[in-house]
């Protein structure tokens, strides 16, 4: 795969996803369409997907050390982005920072990694 195609296919999606998260968290309170009480589920899912995209990108990195620790790095990056997102929301009108949202973000990232590990183990036993 050419370098340009690799960037577009593997490295651009997590950047776009991060931009979508930033855009959604920049909307004033009440403008984000969520079913009442489902915000933690949304955080969990959004960050599970974000971690998947980060992991996919890191797995296609040229450095072996990054590929080797890609799951851990993905969790750390997703968690730090979640922390930054909560900080950012503090300054958005009618939005609030919640530790519960950050916890849901981190748990979503961890859940992706646990599913990935489980799938990899199942592949080895077949």
pLDDT at residue 33 greater than cutoff 80? no
DSSP the chain: --HHHHIIIIIHHHHHHHHHHHHHHHSPTT-S---TT-HHHHHHHHHHHHHHHHHHHHHT-S-HHHHHTHHHHHHHHHHHHHHHHHHHHTTSTT----HHHHHHHHHHHHHHHHHHHHHHHHHHH-
Residue 37 vs residue 106, higher pLDDT: 106
- The pLDDT score that the predictor gives to residue 111 is 98
Parse the chain into domains and list their residue ranges: 3-125
Does 126 have pLDDT greater than 90?
no
Q: What is the pLDDT of residues 68-86, one digit of tens each?
A: 999 999 999 999 999 999 9
Tell me the per-residue pLDDT of 51-74, one tens digit each, with 9 for 90 and over. 999 999 999 998 999 999 999 999
């Amino acid at each position: 795969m050419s370098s340009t195609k690799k960037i577009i296919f593997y490295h651009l999606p997590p950047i776009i996803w991060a931009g979508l998260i930033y855009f959604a968290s920049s909307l004033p309170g009440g403008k984000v369409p969520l079913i009442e009480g489902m915000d933690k589920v949304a955080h969990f899912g959004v960050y599970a997907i974000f971690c998947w995209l980060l992991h996919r990108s890191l797995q296609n990195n040229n450095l072996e050390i990054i590929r080797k620790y890609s799951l851990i790095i993905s969790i750390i990056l997703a968690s730090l982005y979640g922390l930054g997102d909560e900080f950012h929301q503090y300054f958005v009108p009618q939005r609030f920072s919640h530790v519960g949202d950050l916890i849901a973000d981190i748990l979503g990232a961890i859940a992706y990694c646990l599913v990935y590990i489980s799938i990899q183990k199942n592949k080895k036993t077949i």
